Amino acid sequence: MPEPTELEGTLSFATFVVEEGREVIATGDLKIVCAGSATIAGVITSHPNVTIEIVAAQSIEITGHIQAGEGGPGVGTRGRGRKGGDVRLEANSVTIRGGHVYAGRGGSASAGGSGGEGGSVFITANSLNADPKSLVRAGDGGAAGMAISPKAGGRFIDAGNGGDAGDLVIDVVESGGDQGDVPGGVTPTVGCCASGSNGARGASWP
């Protein structure tokens, strides 16, 4: 297995390809800008709290896996978990064939804190196609912090709340494939936004 390639920042390419069996790790927020097309047959992952963005003038095709990093944990008493990483895809056409696109889960809270917000997935395209084996999913909200019982003379700390789930935002002119239903009964169409609720699982498509 080849060593992973580490990338971060805004990087420009004529075309961008992650071949099957290869892995790219975003060590900081990563924006890939392509004058032509982007093909993801391998894997793109990221460090915690890091967002992955791909912008292509022509097309983005995903047969591999994109997974943004989870949010970091809360620190100290009542520390809120950090937000999970977003995934942003923008191109004339986006095709997902057996691939997975996942935003990061929100970070877990420390004692008495609230979980972090799940990352969101944003897809902007003139056309979007996905087969039934594909899955696009926003990040789940992070776990709530536990309650703390007081020691002698101490103070009780209530448990926190689960974090908000991420959003799935699909803005397309036309879409193909079996879209299915996003949890909450919302079917993604032009300009749709399916918002997660407190403690809910992130929305998914198709």
- How would you write the pLDDT of the chain (206 residues) with one tens digit per residue? 578 899 999 999 999 999 999 999 999 999 999 999 999 999 999 999 999 999 999 999 999 999 999 988 888 777 888 899 999 999 999 999 999 999 999 888 887 788 888 999 999 999 888 888 888 999 888 888 777 766 545 565 666 777 888 888 888 866 554 443 333 333 343 333 444 334 456 667 76
pTM strictly above 0.85: no
- CA torsion 200→94→8→76, rounded to 10°? 0
* Assigned token pair, 131: 């087969």
- Residue 202 is given by DSSP the state P
Of residues 142, 98, 97, the one with CA closest to residue 119: 142
State phi, psi for 53 to the nearest 5 degrees.
-130, 135
Q: How many residues does the chain have?
A: 206
- CA separation for the pair 61, 57 (Å, rounded): 13
Residue 154: CB atoms within 10 Å: 9
Residue listed under structure tokens 């290869």: 22
Of residues 31, 99, 38, 30, the one with CA closest to residue 64: 99
Q: Using alpha carbons, list the distances in angstroms from residue 161 to 52, 78, 158, 164.
A: 27, 11, 10, 9
Strand partners, 25: 6, 45
Q: State how beta strands 168-176 and 192-194 pair.
A: antiparallel
